[in-house]
Structure 1
Amino acid sequence: MIKEWFKTGSPWVWLNAAAVSICLIMIISVLGLVAVRGASHFWPAEVLQFSYQDDDGTVQPIIGEHVDSSVTPAAMAKANGIKMADNEDVLIQYLIKTGNRDVTGSDFRWIQERHIKSQAVPEAIVVVERREWGNFYGHLTAVKESGKVIASGEAAISVALQKLAETLVVFKDIAHLEKKEIGAVNYDLERLRLKQKGLQLRNQWDAQAQTDWAAEKAADDAQYHAYQAQLQGLYQKVRQHSIMVKADNGKELEISLAKVVRLYQPNQMGVFGKIGHYGSKLVEFLTDDPREANTEGGIFPAIFGTVLMVMMMSVIVTPFGVIAAVYLREYAKQGFITRVIRIAVNNLAGVPSIVYGVFGLGFFVYILGGNIDQLFFPEAAPAPVFGTPGLLWASITLALLTLPVVIVSTEEGLSRIPKAIREGSLALGATKLETLWLTVLPMASPAMMTGLILAVARAAGEVAPLMLVGVVKMAPTLPLDGNFPFLHLDRKFMHLGFHIYDVGFQSPNVEAARPLVYATSLLLVVVILGLNLSAILIRNHLREKYRALEG
């Protein structure tokens, strides 16, 4: 009976179904974990106040967020040097985010459940999210303006929120002035410096050139000093206000509102208040620059760099992959050499990505980029322009990495087009090139888009080669801005995949960085899905358009 059942092939069908089901469950579980951990990172948690007894018997208050728990068997706890009573079977510990790094030296602390005397959720506790030193947890005691107290007690929170809102508006003006206006002037001053050096190298630094150059520089200097004066006034304005806060150990601190990003009382928030806070944090995450060694703030430069690099890679890889596939399928003589080329292309798809990174660094950056600098940018020496990792070389390297996928997919699409289509076009008087351009390639476009989808999916998640050819931890400026030539192919950029690696494995504050790793991973998955869905929609449209011809 069992032998007959095996002969029917049903066991292998069930085995395949079980394997597919297990894979789907694992994928859904991983994505679910990333989604839950990543999306919950921005929800305001309750801040607890513990009355905690240390090992020496001293009772002290501890304020913070409950982050995690651990249960350790008594035997293991004793082996780690922790004293356990005979009636205790396990040691339960809580990880508390206490913040106040400038006061205690650390953001997190493990406490033992057996030493907790009491636990409360005081409504008066405030969370101060700062531009540096992380969060502060404690009580707001007063608000100062130019060193004088203008509010204290219960009235302090409303005044502090009002002054903070005013300060944040001024900070937006400061950011615009520094990044846009002063940044443009600095860019123009650097252009003038290179222009002067170029004229000197070409022996064209005559009196007229010096006069014109001096006039341009004087205008830039005047503009720069005007912006600097305006900037100093704005900084003086934001430094007028500060708040007095008290930590859980009773220490009182004065925090300038210029260093505060957000001030709130999570224990007083209702559902709608928490939803508003969640939306504010999410928008900040998607639109702001990173801070605190990439463990706080937003990741907009990484999103921008990832999307721009993938788009450039797609523009580069698609024509080269299609041309190679068309030659192999339509023009090359089908023989031993063609078969060897196809085998080589298929093998290239299995080469480790870091090998492409090393090749990109050695050939594109050092050889090709170095020669470009010598020919076209001698005035920039010894500083490299294209002879250093940047956006262009990263895009070309990933285009080379994904080229085999596009070639194979396009060639398969060309092979599925009936020979009668070609013969009919030729019989009507079209040339082979016209047949290829007007008939064959449009019908094969869905297969091209399939190759592009696979290329985008792989390129967007690659990290290893990018570490060698252009990605950095923090890019001071975006590759695309308002300064001519607008798209700066020589600039380094940030990438979501490298950002995850940097935050997760290179951060000095691992516990603080962990939630951001999940949030960034979720965003990277969403970005890849968005890029793929866009390509899939285009492919489906093309497939429906040419379905009748294929039939």
Structure 2
Amino acid sequence: MIWLTGGGLVVAICMIVGLLALIVAQGAGTLWPKPVLQVRLKSGAVLMGEVARTEAFREADGREARRRLVRTGNYELTSEHFTWVNDADVAEESRPEWALVVERLAWGRFYGVPKSLTAEGTVVAASPGAVWKAFQEIHASVTDRRHRRERLETEGIGAVNKRIEDARLAVRKAELKNGPGSPGHAAAVAYAAEIQAETKAEFDRLRAEIAALNAHNAKFSMKVVTADGRETELALADIVRAYPANRLSPGGRWGVYGSRWREFLLDAPREANSEGGVFPAIFGTVIMTLIMSLAVVPFGVMAALYLREYAKAGPVVSAVRISINNLAGVPSIVFGVFGLGFFCYVVGASIDDLFFAAKLPNPTYGKGGVLWAALTLALMTLPVVIVATEEALAAVPGSMREGSFACGAGKWQTIRRIVLPRALPGIMTGMILAMARGAGEVAPLMLVGAVKLAPELPVEGVFPFIHAERSFMHLGFHIYDLGFQSQNSEAAKPMVFTTTLLLIFVIFILNVLAVQLRTRLRRRFVSAVF
């Protein structure tokens, strides 16, 4: 029996280590810059790109062969991102010295050899080496202007639109409260017209500044020659990153690798989530998990306290415990349906009717949002917290309760001062298990708030600062979207492993923080081993 149990443990450890090793190996290597290959086929076609993967297959006559999936990019010219290349069809292959990898805001990557660079409407470089040197000197200032334009569009024009929307809602509120044509409604209409006039001048100023930045950036471009000889003009403002892949030193490769990780962790996604960063998904995952933890722990502890300390044993209490245990086995999508029907359509719609009538028929809380997603997952993980808390309460020695009663303490005083402090580490264990399960759930979130792209975060620097009604991005849903919904599935597949690695790391960090808190509580309170 000892060999059987030991063997089961070894198999379980091997499975876990193998899974983590696969995710780490695939996820960490996705962003590493690869050399660029130029392939001339026997048919005369010429391809240039990065080898994404290699696989063996059998020809029709039974011979073993190899083929490579080459990321050729240049989608606006070829209408495809990847091309399979059979080794038997290759006539010649090389690694061009000045093959450039260009990562863009749209259309994916571009591969080619730089021919010339235009700055301020004048050609300033006309050879690959000179073009690359000029690009390094100029691109930072072009990128800075692009970021200024984006800030004007999001913050500047966003603030103007908010003032206009607030004035419109004030008119609608006055109409609902006082009736159309009333003095209050007329005053609100006059104020809205005043705001419209003020914001028009501000809006025109912002649009003029944006147009000036765009016009300035339009004077900077780079002409690139593709592998098949076609010349393409690339605007420098549309380039996120470019590098000569076959000329990179080890330090240069690490620089590109670090730059890609910085973008991945701190920027918003682009290109249908297949490129760019996942910061909104990281933020949404952490915020949703914290709100879920703050919601589930108090209710779980109160329910466990009643069942363990107050309720008398009997058929009703037994039925409640059985129901709690059965609740833990309900499929998660069922909780999502309940959250959609109850939190969104009942509670949220009631809140809209009471406090946001002016915004109707556009719902505010009567739709999916981070608050309803957190409460749905809190309901789903509630049995975990209740069971763990009950076990922690049961582990507190009865002699401590009796000693407290003997000193004249009441029931609640004993629970608050004796039982709960010594049960806190066990309660924290339940919270850790709830966080680990809730943070990785996807199915309920698809119904109650998680979306493909949410450029607005639930927390921002503009009053009222916290927007619990907003939809959000989630790393688990982002993985699903990359793997099954991306139009560029081949480019998205490697990002699935990278995002999975990041999700595991986020859950690990949250659990480490909770474990540290539990350890401090154990050191503070002398208690039994849970």
TM-score tier by shorter-chain length is: over 0.9
Correspondence for 1:119: 93
C-alpha contact 2:397 2:528 (8 A) present in aligned 1:
no
| 1:86-118 deviations in Å (ceiling 9; x for gaps) | xx7212211111111111111111111122222
Correspondence for 1:201: 176
| 1:422-458 deviations in Å (ceiling 9; x for gaps) | 1222222322212211221111111110010000001
Sequence identity of aligned pairs in percent? 45
Q: Structure 1's 124 and 235: CA in aligned 2 closer, same or farther, altered over 3 A? A: same
1:256 to 235, 244, 267: 235
2:305 to 326, 341, 366: 326
C-alpha contact 1:142 1:151 (8 A) present in aligned 2:
yes
**CA displacement at 1:197 relative to structure 2:** 0.4
Structure 1 unaligned segments of length 5 or more: list them. Answer: 1-11, 79-83
Please tell me whether residue 237 in structure 1 is matched to residue 216 in structure 2.
Answer: yes
Correspondence for 1:306: 285
C-alpha contact 2:167 2:192 (8 A) present in aligned 1:
yes
Correspondence for 1:94: 68
Query: What is the TM-score normalised by the length of structure 1?
Result: 0.92
**CA displacement at 1:541 relative to structure 2:** 1.2
Q: Distance in 2 between matches of 1:208 and 1:474?
A: 39
Correspondence for 1:172: 147
Alignment coverage as a number of residue pairs: 525
C-alpha contact 2:396 2:527 (8 A) present in aligned 1:
no
| 1:149-190 deviations in Å (ceiling 9; x for gaps) | 221113111112222111111122222222223223322322
Correspondence for 2:13: 24
C-alpha contact 1:443 1:550 (8 A) present in aligned 2:
no
C-alpha contact 2:422 2:527 (8 A) present in aligned 1:
no
Q: Distance in 1 between matches of 2:163 and 2:467?
A: 14
Q: Distance in 2 between matches of 1:431 and 1:550?
A: 26
Structure 2 unaligned segments of length 5 or more: list them. Answer: none
**CA displacement at 1:214 relative to structure 2:** 4.1
**CA displacement at 1:206 relative to structure 2:** 4.4
Q: Structure 1's 207 and 102: CA in aligned 2 closer, same or farther, altered over 3 A? A: closer
Q: Distance in 2 between matches of 1:544 and 1:490?
A: 40
| 1:311-361 deviations in Å (ceiling 9; x for gaps) | 111111111111101111111112111111111101101100000000011
Query: What is the TM-score normalised by the length of structure 2?
Result: 0.96
Letter of the 1:265 counterpart: P
Correspondence for 1:69: 54
Aligned Cα RMSD in Å? Answer: 1.7
Correspondence for 2:484: 505
Correspondence for 2:266: 287
C-alpha contact 2:171 2:185 (8 A) present in aligned 1:
no
**CA displacement at 1:210 relative to structure 2:** 4.2
Please tell me whether residue 468 in structure 1 is matched to residue 447 in structure 2.
Answer: yes
Correspondence for 1:273: 252
Please tell me whether residue 546 in structure 1 is matched to residue 525 in structure 2.
Answer: yes
Q: Distance in 1 between matches of 2:508 and 2:162?
A: 36
Q: Structure 1's 217 and 198: CA in aligned 2 closer, same or farther, altered over 3 A? A: same
Which range is displaced more, 140-149 or 390-399?
A: 140-149
| 1:64-94 deviations in Å (ceiling 9; x for gaps) | 1112122112xxx32xxxxx6xxx7212211
Correspondence for 1:4: none
Please tell me whether residue 452 in structure 1 is matched to residue 431 in structure 2.
Answer: yes
C-alpha contact 2:49 2:111 (8 A) present in aligned 1:
yes
Q: Distance in 2 between matches of 1:193 and 1:275?
A: 52
C-alpha contact 1:480 1:487 (8 A) present in aligned 2:
yes
Q: Distance in 2 between matches of 1:181 and 1:433?
A: 55
C-alpha contact 1:161 1:263 (8 A) present in aligned 2:
no
**CA displacement at 1:209 relative to structure 2:** 4.0
Please tell me whether residue 432 in structure 1 is matched to residue 411 in structure 2.
Answer: yes
**CA displacement at 1:223 relative to structure 2:** 3.2
Q: Distance in 2 between matches of 1:550 and 1:474?
A: 46
Q: Distance in 2 between matches of 1:509 and 1:213?
A: 46
C-alpha contact 1:417 1:550 (8 A) present in aligned 2:
no
Q: Give the secondary-structure state (helix, strand or coil) at the position aligned to 1:42.
A: coil
Correspondence for 1:8: none
Which range is displaced more, 270-279 or 425-434?
A: 425-434
Which range is displaced more, 362-371 or 492-501?
A: 362-371
**CA displacement at 1:549 relative to structure 2:** 7.8
Correspondence for 2:105: 131
Q: Distance in 1 between matches of 2:354 and 2:489?
A: 46
Q: Structure 1's 107 and 214: CA in aligned 2 closer, same or farther, altered over 3 A? A: same
| 1:180-239 deviations in Å (ceiling 9; x for gaps) | 232233223222211210111101634544444444444444433332222222222222
Letter of the 2:101 counterpart: V
C-alpha contact 2:268 2:455 (8 A) present in aligned 1:
no
Correspondence for 1:155: 130
C-alpha contact 2:168 2:192 (8 A) present in aligned 1:
no
2:162 to 187, 196, 205: 187
Q: Structure 1's 400 and 548: CA in aligned 2 closer, same or farther, altered over 3 A? A: closer
Q: Distance in 1 between matches of 2:306 and 2:34?
A: 60
Letter of the 2:156 counterpart: E
Letter of the 1:510 counterpart: S
- Runs of at least 4 residues off by over 6 Å: none
**CA displacement at 1:410 relative to structure 2:** 0.5
Q: Distance in 2 between matches of 1:302 and 1:199?
A: 38
